[in-house]
Structure 1
């Protein structure tokens, strides 16, 4: 039986996943992929992030999902970063498939065609990435890490950081949607500069 490292700290049971025992801040993105019939699928993901400092982006998925199979077949995917006011649209993209294996709820989502890869974005998002598959790493339990090389990127004008714009003004004009796993979300429109130590290098 594990013991707490000190008073006020609870040791968690590792015989089951720990992630529902506390909140984690994560992005909420919508992954776009091309279906076998030529249509497009959109699916929300929160286990998603840049992979390193170069132009790679990855997300966690399972081989049981159409997103995984579509990326494997088409070798490409899109990433849309929704705005806080689009949280319901992001939720709609998670609607279950019907008996015909289609997602009728997708018809209600506004989309925008990608420029380089064969795909679509969730329209009115603040950031869009077009990715070609770099690699898929299986074996994280039932899950896999899908990594794409970014071949095109587009950002909404108000959300772009520029040298003559204050970062806080950027966030006020274009707040970020954050997923608070499990099951909550928030909008981020306030921030403070991080106190990097003198001489810090990434």
Structure 2
């Protein structure tokens, strides 16, 4: 209950304080490339229930037809505005709405698309999906440079499935086992430090 109350208060305050920035980014995206401001994608949430995650759109509207679900290095599908908002993680800010509506938490295992969740070992799948997915978690910090790592792989999709995904899953499982409001606050501070170059 305490975690959910904290999520509601923090997400609501964040949306209020960041509203000028959110509006400016939305206008930039509309000016920069044709298509909607927000990108919606099905992810797997708490209890294995699917939900739609929201991000600022950082790629061309036809991006899904032009390449894999993972983003690799200087992906040509990324728009000019998208390069900046992805690097700064501003594209993730609409997920504050997902937190407010109860689909996500500020801190929790990052939600994956169904095709990758299907690869989870059963025991870890049940554990990781026992809590609300989050905007940030230990795996997000450890793999902040995921796109660059994949760019150096001979087969990026295979590298993600065989190397990165299992490592992220182990970190997510470890988080769930020891999660508390204190660990969440530490992860939020760590995320802010990484965003601002600390």
TM-score (norm 1): 0.26
Q: Which has the higher helix share?
A: 2
TM-score (norm 2): 0.26
Q: Which has the higher strand share?
A: 1
Larger radius of gyration: 1
